[in-house]
Amino acid sequence: MAAQENDSTDIEVVLKDLKKINKGSITELKSMSNPPQLVKQVMEAVCIFLGRTPSWEQSRKLLGNVNDFLQQIQAYDKDNIAPEVITKIRNEYTSDPDFSGEKAKKVSMAIWKLCSWVIAMEKYDKLKKSADGK
């Protein structure tokens, strides 16, 4: 069980970890005028999941209300991800070797947790569709 708890792609663990994001780290992200590429990529992926245009401008708007933003992430309907959303996430984000929790961890605690969320959602969708297909 302990190994599963340390797996940053386990959806339940990731959702619990999201609650630990410091509001100050979200505010710090929002204040970046020219963030590192990985920050942009993670936030673009989050925007796609939330039905927003994948851009830094939209990301900053999402981050504007920290509580609302975190609530949207935590309440996201992981069982009904639109096929076009998951396809875009897989093709443009999670297939990129630089899009990883380990690399995100070096940039920011918040980006690490959000990157883990994106990866966990993609893996959850893949596992769910695999299980449903059996």
Residue 132 to residue 112: CA distance in whole angstroms:
30
Going residue by residue through the chain (134 aa), what tens digit of pLDDT does each one get?
Answer: 333 333 445 888 888 888 888 888 898 899 999 999 999 999 999 999 999 999 999 999 999 998 899 999 999 999 999 999 999 999 999 999 999 999 999 999 999 999 999 999 999 998 877 777 64
Residues 6 or more apart in contact with residue 4 via CB below 8 angstroms: 10, 13
Q: What is the pLDDT, as a whole number, of residue 133?
A: 64
The burial class, CB within 10 Å (0-12 / 13-18 / 19+), for 63 is buried
- CB 36, CB 108: distance < 8 Å: no
pTM for this prediction? 0.88
